[in-house]
Structure 1
Amino acid sequence: MRFLADMGISPRSVEYLRKRGHDAVHLWEEGLERLTDSEVLAKGRAEDRVVLTHDLGFGELMAASGAELPSVVIFRLKNMRPERVNRYLEEVVERYGAFLERGAIVSVGEGWIRVRTLPIRRSGAEER
């Protein structure tokens, strides 16, 4: 699987993914630490990468856009130490990888994981 780590994710988590055979890059490594959230999503979409972030704004942008990709994993953990993030990453890839490949937002919290498939449909919105 291909991943793009936002600035709130440790480069150690990127290395963790690489050691497990994934193609993972960090914005910092590419000198792109100043990209806006929209630009990060566009890069993820263009490169077919799952975006890893700690920023809740990514979910809002994906919902507003109605886009099917890129998939986004949002970590809502109080303790973002790489060891904790990596344990959750392993579970997300193992249990929810198929959702990420098709398009999903996976939110990870203290002891819970929630999956929403993309695109996100707004309730009460008219279908045409």
Structure 2
Amino acid sequence: MKLIVDMNLTPRWVGLLVDAGIEARHWSTLGANNAPDSEIMAYARANDYVVLTHDLDFSAILAATHGDKPSVVQIRADDVSPNVIGLQVIAALKQMVSELESGALLTVDPNRTRVRLLPLQIATDG
């Protein structure tokens, strides 16, 4: 599994992930700092990356496009620094490897971790 760390997260995430045995690159080393989320998503899809972000726009893109890739890991916490929530994120990544490789939206917050398989399905009353 390879991760792109979004611009809204510190590049320090890369070191933590690499130390945990996870290949990772910060978007600032791959593309323009002001690139739209859609460009990051397209790059991740074309190059088989998972996107690590604090931005809800990525899940909105997946929902709107019914995309099955790339997988997105969103951190939902007030403090998204790697020294605060990093170990929880790494544990979730390692636990959900097969889901992320197949296509998933993984949400990690201080209280729980949730995974939804892609493409996202809109809930309907039945």
TM-score of the pair, normalised by structure 1: 0.90
Letter in 1 for 2:50: V
| Residue 42 (structure 2) pairs with residue 42 (structure 1) | yes
CA distance in 1, matches of 2:93, 2:108: 12
The unaligned stretches of length 5 or more in structure 1 are none
Find runs of 4+ consecutive structure 1 residues off by over 4 angstroms.
none
In the alignment, the residues of structure 2 paired with residue 16 and residue 118 of structure 1 have an alpha-carbon distance, to the nearest angstrom, of: 27
Distance 1:110 1:20, change over 3 A: closer
Q: 1:121 is matched with which residue?
A: 121
Shift of 1:86: 1.5
Which digits, 9 at most, give the CA deviation of each residue in 1:22-63, with x for residues without a partner?
Answer: 221111123521110111111110110000000011111101
Residue 80 (structure 1) shift: 1.2
Q: Contact 2:62–2:120 (CA<8 Å) still a contact in 1? A: yes
- Distance in 2 between the 1:3 and 1:71 partners? 9
Using the TM superposition, give the Cα deviation of residue 84 of structure 1 relative to its aligned residue in structure 2, in angstroms.
Answer: 2.1
Q: Which residue of 2 aligns with 1:92?
A: 92
CA distance in 1, matches of 2:122, 2:96: 23
Who is 1:29 aligned against? 29
Report Cα offsets for 1:72-120 as digits up to 9, x if no partner: 0011110112112311221112211111111000011121111000001
- SS of the residue aligned with 2:113? strand
The aligned residue for residue 52 of structure 2 is 52
Q: Quick check: 1:13–1:85 contact (8 Å CA) kept in 2?
A: no
Percent sequence identity over aligned pairs: 35
**Distance (whole Å) between structure 2 residues aligned to residue 85 and residue 123 of structure 1:** 30
Which residue number in structure 1 is paired with residue 83 of structure 2? 83
SS at match of 2:84: helix
Aligned length: 125
The alignment partner of 1:106 has SS state of strand
CA RMSD of aligned residues (A): 1.5
**Structure 2 contact 37–57 (Cα < 8 Å) conserved:** yes
